[in-house]
Structure 1
Amino acid sequence: MAQTKSVAELTDRDRRITLLSLSMVLFVSILDISAVNVMLPSIGRDLHATTEQLQWVVDIFMVVLASILMFAGSMGDRFGRRRALIQGLTIFGLGSLLSAIAIGPQMLIAARAVQALGGATMPPVALAIIGNVFLDNAQRARAIGVWGAIQGISLAVGPLIGGVLTDVASWRWVFGINVPIVAITGFLIMRTVPETKAAHARKFDPAGQVLAMVLLVSLSYAIIRVGEHGSNLVSSILFAVAALSLAGFVVVERTVNEPMLELRFFKSMPFTLANLIALFAFASNTGFSFINALFLQNEMGFSPLAAGAFLVPMAICTGALAMVSGRMVAARGARPSLILHAILIGLSGGALLTTASVDNPWIVYLIASILLGSAMGAANAALNNTALSGMPRSQAGVAGATMGVARQTGQAVGVAIFGALYNAGLRSGTSAAQAALPNWWIMVGSAAIILTLAIISGTPWARSSENTVAELIAD
């Protein structure tokens, strides 16, 4: 691997090129996530995939990502972040290539799993490199600001790029375009990004890692299978495996010296409530996006490009509310933003409940998507602030990574539940609009739960638990 300068030897130009290459890492990883829903109907037709298989095209990425996210970050700390990033990019590029040439749904699902193995390393390690390369506080703040802007741009243009490539060429090009981007990004990283490691990296937790993956795979598979085949012996066994894996995971994490998931964090009520809110919020958001893509194209006759353009206002509102929420959190704390988030999700779900009785349901979907995008923008800064509040500075990275796992788990479970209920409704012979109704009730219920949790998170009782955690971790 090419030798690079040390962090101290980097010029301003070197740092700008480093930030460019690391921003490309984020762009390509989020682009693939935000574009895939638009492609699903085309993938279904070309590969003769069932709704269950299309769920797995999305869900396998989320499940693998959630399972190994913390492991991937610690690998960079232990063996070198630059090295881990190059390896992650290589695996992600290989998965993208295999996805582009997939000859059946099973091959595509397996290729997406390979993509996720690489993708789990990319954003957390790239962000850690930014923190170590930009030593000046002002420079670091600007670099992270650019990073956040790239994230918003990726979410906005991903569905558009996916729609254009699917319309003009094929859905395969959405995966194929990753390969040259990864190659260019890897070249820049090898030329400019210095190697950094953590002074004291966390040890691996192989038992916890395996149990976490078994838990998420078996739970997602059980939920998706119920939607496709109804409740039966296989789904019951899968639910039992998930329950046993959860119990085993808790036992392991309570006994090992350096657990993958620090359970003591959950003695902080704000931290626990923030993770629960993230679980419900991201399940609603990703579940809606999955159903939205299928409904607009299969039922309303939208082209992939039109379906992609349909999601742009949602992404714009996410970015706009994120800026407003950041100022609200700074001025008034996290609770007002989280309450606003709950109200907007409830309004979005309530609007979607009317889709079965209106002549132009796509208009309702558009309004609901704008409300939901605004809700997600209102939540991000508030969730991060609530989760990290009261945590020792030395544990902020682990606490933030735990929040990332909650988000990814919510996305995986959301696609599984929403897709299962939608599929079960279609199998029963109801219209697509009627089949989606249970999901919109889940959104309304999730909003009520989030509202309750948001109110509790700011109480003196919840805040008092932060000191307990700080003392425990210090010990």
Structure 2
Amino acid sequence: MPAITSPASEHSPQRTAPTRHLAATTVLACLGVLVSYLPVVGVSVSLPVIQQALNASTTQLQWIATLFILPTAALLLTFGVLGDIFGRKKVFLAGLALVVVGCLVCLTANGVVQLCAGQALTGFGTAALMPSTLALLTHVRTDRRQRTQAIALWTASLGLGLTLGPLINGLILDHTSWRWIFLPCVIIGALVAVAGAYLLTDSRADRERHLDLPGQLLAVVTITSLVYAVIQGGVTGWGSAEVVIGFVVAAAALAAFVVTELRSPHPMLDMRLFSSLAFSGTAAVMCLTLFAQVGLVFTLSEYFGLVHHDSTFDIAIRLIALNGFTVVLGPLVGRLMVRTTPGLVLVAGLVVGGVGALLVSTFDASTGVAVSAAVIGILGIGIALATAPITTIAVNSLPPHLAPTAGAANSALRQIGSALGPAVFGVLLTNRTLSTLPGHLAASDLGATDRGTVLGMVSDAGIQAGAFLRLSTGPATAEARAVYGASFTNALHTCALVGGVGMLAAGAMALVTIGVRKTAHNAAAGS
């Protein structure tokens, strides 16, 4: 397979577009990614309310969160190819339509199954929106400096969706049913689709692209089997036949996918992308970072809801800094990348984020607002510094004609990490809480009957049931909830350790594969 052409040596004709078209494309691309990310954390922080309303188990809650991300991760590359073949504008509008339909299904859901189906449809829409918005943006922003700043705005819009989702959901849940949390996406998605139909100009790939059905099928099998095995492992045990089979199928499908893509004349994922060390580094860093970020959002949402008994709006306020700094610092991060190097900003962000994640291990059942806000603020600053450079490095590390493919691959890896986050952290929360609960119960003042009742309820109904324990007397109930809180925070500490080490490991990987020094490539990006 021929080596990939370096960005410095690739010369492509500069496309020019009217200022109005540039502005409209940029705004609509940012609005599209905002719509696609509104449900991500918004639904996660609403899970305690959904659990009560639908009497859902921990495993069902994990699937509610995961079934949005799973099709996004599995189909991003395919929708990227479809956009290259049939037009990015068409895929963009189709993605908005799928998001609207999926949210309408969730809006009318009366059970876990329908809610999961709606989440999956919304995930299909997000799979179409992520590559099409980035491809539309990079098609009209050909100058490296402008592209870097535009990607920073695109990333800030992603962060805005993650920030506004919980706030909007919290306000809705304070006044009406949980189902209405899906209405904003329906309204905004429909309005953006109408505007896009009139204002966007379509674009396609500069080179011939073809669908890669074998590659797509193997990608779906790999990702679905892996996530299923992780989630099911926490339910039936890691040695159960179905979990082992799941991991074996995922490994076999991944190997077959790589071989298929290497041999295919028109691969869905061009393996030449990984001949760029910078791109390979960002791929691994992206997975680890999003794994830690989304997993910690899931964990902290459960902690504030189940241990502190906060409302959804209060949870959103507590977590606002986690993604809010991505919005506030977006323009500054764009300028920092131009003036220094994207690699330096990325490594700094991952170190700060890793320290913030590790500090979550200081939380207990009585941690105050000031302490939690400070720690989450540190974590949020780290995420803000790391998010934009990852995408920028991936796109700018390859020739211009491969930028849309690189963006789609980068987004796919983002979603794989996002899918594994709640799956793995949910398993850690459940297993660690259940393993430490008997010891905390034994050290409490509860009687044998009450200890058995608490352990039985949490084991049988899921760890969420611990937040709503009621025993025969008020003091016994208070003691039981305190014991549950201590066990849950033990689990939170384990998740914080995993998330923090993951982000620091991603920082070390970025330092080795990408580097922080200004090179000819970095100079070109900043010129």
Distance change (3 Å), C-alpha of 1:346 and 1:188? closer
Q: CA deviation digits over 1:216-274, x for unaligned, max 9? A: 11111111112223221211111111111111111111111121112222232222122
Question: 1:292: Cα distance to partner?
Answer: 0.9
> Does structure 2 retain, via aligned residues, the 8 Å contact 1:90–1:182?
yes
Aligned residue in 2 for 1:470: none
Distance change (3 Å), C-alpha of 1:277 and 1:142? closer
Question: 1:98: Cα distance to partner?
Answer: 0.6
Letter of the aligned partner of 1:230 in structure 2?
Answer: G
Q: Which whole-Å CA distance do the structure 1 matches of 2:258 and 2:396 have between them?
A: 24
Aligned residue in 2 for 1:265: 273
SS class of match (2:499):
helix
Q: Does 2:355 correspond to 1:347?
A: yes
Give the alignment partner of residue 332 of structure 1, picking from 333, 340, 363: 340
Give the alignment partner of residue 128 of structure 2, picking from 121, 134, 155: 121
Aligned residue in 2 for 1:369: 376
Distance change (3 Å), C-alpha of 1:11 and 1:47? same
Question: 1:385: Cα distance to partner?
Answer: 3.9
What are the within-5 Å matches in structure 2 for residues 180-329 of structure 1? 180-231=187-238, 232-329=240-337
Distance change (3 Å), C-alpha of 1:315 and 1:447? closer
Q: CA deviation digits over 1:142-167, x for unaligned, max 9? A: 87676455434333322110111122
Q: Does 2:86 correspond to 1:79?
A: yes
Give the alignment partner of residue 446 of structure 1, picking from 502, 515, 519: 502
Q: Which whole-Å CA distance do the structure 2 matches of 1:372 and 1:203 have between them?
A: 41
SS class of match (2:56):
coil
Q: Which whole-Å CA distance do the structure 2 matches of 1:24 and 1:316 have between them?
A: 16
What are the within-5 Å matches in structure 2 for residues 26-105 of structure 1? 26-105=33-112
Aligned residue in 2 for 1:469: none
Q: Which whole-Å CA distance do the structure 2 matches of 1:276 and 1:163 have between them?
A: 34
Structure 2: gaps spanning 5 or more residues: 1-14, 438-486, 523-527
Distance change (3 Å), C-alpha of 1:328 and 1:236? same
> Does structure 1 retain, via aligned residues, the 8 Å contact 2:134–2:407?
no
Distance change (3 Å), C-alpha of 1:62 and 1:427? same
SS class of match (1:428):
helix
> Does structure 2 retain, via aligned residues, the 8 Å contact 1:334–1:385?
yes
Aligned pair count reads: 456
Q: Which whole-Å CA distance do the structure 1 matches of 2:149 and 2:511 have between them?
A: 33
Question: 1:327: Cα distance to partner?
Answer: 3.2
> Does structure 2 retain, via aligned residues, the 8 Å contact 1:351–1:364?
no
Query: Quick check: 165-174 or 387-396, which moved more?
Result: 387-396
SS class of match (2:116):
helix
Distance change (3 Å), C-alpha of 1:199 and 1:263? closer
Query: Quick check: 163-172 or 81-90, which moved more?
Result: 81-90
Aligned residue in 2 for 1:437: 493
Q: Which whole-Å CA distance do the structure 2 matches of 1:451 and 1:148 have between them?
A: 19
> Does structure 1 retain, via aligned residues, the 8 Å contact 2:54–2:111?
yes
Distance change (3 Å), C-alpha of 1:113 and 1:416? same
Aligned residue in 2 for 1:3: none
Q: Which whole-Å CA distance do the structure 2 matches of 1:83 and 1:298 have between them?
A: 43
> Does structure 1 retain, via aligned residues, the 8 Å contact 2:344–2:516?
no
Distance change (3 Å), C-alpha of 1:183 and 1:458? closer
Question: 1:293: Cα distance to partner?
Answer: 0.9
Question: 1:282: Cα distance to partner?
Answer: 0.8
Larger radius of gyration: 2
Give the alignment partner of residue 178 of structure 2, picking from 150, 171, 181: 171
> Does structure 2 retain, via aligned residues, the 8 Å contact 1:88–1:117?
yes
Aligned residue in 1 for 2:479: none
Q: Which whole-Å CA distance do the structure 2 matches of 1:56 and 1:101 have between them?
A: 18
> Does structure 2 retain, via aligned residues, the 8 Å contact 1:78–1:201?
yes
Letter of the aligned partner of 2:293 in structure 1?
Answer: N
Query: Quick check: 30-39 or 332-341, which moved more?
Result: 332-341
Distance change (3 Å), C-alpha of 1:266 and 1:40? same
Query: Quick check: 198-207 or 432-441, which moved more?
Result: 198-207
Query: Quick check: 330-339 or 296-305, which moved more?
Result: 330-339
> Does structure 2 retain, via aligned residues, the 8 Å contact 1:387–1:403?
yes
Distance change (3 Å), C-alpha of 1:307 and 1:29? same
Letter of the aligned partner of 2:501 in structure 1?
Answer: G
Q: CA deviation digits over 1:175-225, x for unaligned, max 9? A: 133223333332223333333333434211111111111111111111111
Letter of the aligned partner of 1:415 in structure 2?
Answer: P
Letter of the aligned partner of 1:212 in structure 2?
Answer: A
Structure 1: gaps spanning 5 or more residues: 1-7, 467-475
Distance change (3 Å), C-alpha of 1:387 and 1:366? same
> Does structure 2 retain, via aligned residues, the 8 Å contact 1:208–1:252?
yes
Distance change (3 Å), C-alpha of 1:321 and 1:297? same
Query: Quick check: 368-377 or 185-194, which moved more?
Result: 185-194
Q: Does 2:481 correspond to 1:425?
A: no
Question: 1:425: Cα distance to partner?
Answer: 2.0
Q: Which whole-Å CA distance do the structure 2 matches of 1:120 and 1:47 have between them?
A: 27
SS class of match (2:97):
helix
Aligned residue in 1 for 2:422: 415
